[in-house]
Amino acid sequence: MDILTFDRLVTLGLFMAALGAAWVFVHRNKHGLSRKLAQGRRLQVQDTLALGANQRAVLLAVDGREFLVVQGKGGNCSVQPLGGPAAGAQA
């Protein structure tokens, strides 16, 4: 019983080539793809920053407005609306 026959090797080679081509396509077009995937979404994470071992700050854009969310490890959360429209929002 041969496990590695010629047709299985050809199938494996074609699959690996297709997988590699898909990887190259995604990496060359990642900015355009991410914009298309995010289109129509109301909530977007603009930036995140670790403030320490137990805290994180997240900048969110919701319907053209920006909010700063500070999350603590124990489930504590603070939401602060920021003045002005989001940087990526269209008026």
Alpha-carbon gap, residue 31 to 22, rounded angstroms: 15
Q: pLDDT per residue over 20-48, tens digit each? A: 999 999 988 888 877 777 677 788 888 99
Which phi and psi (to 5°) does residue 85 adopt? Answer: -75, 160
Single pTM value for the model:
0.50
Q: Which of the residue ranges 12-21, 65-74, 78-87 would you say has the lowest mean pLDDT?
A: 78-87
Alpha-carbon gap, residue 88 to 46, rounded angstroms: 9
pLDDT band at 1 (very low <50, low <70, confident <90, very high): low
Show the CA angle centred on residue 55, arms to residues 58 and 71, nearest 5°.
Answer: 50
What pLDDT is recorded for position 91?
Answer: 43
Cα→Cα distances 14→5, 7, 19, 86, Å: 14, 11, 9, 45
pLDDT band at 8 (very low <50, low <70, confident <90, very high): very high
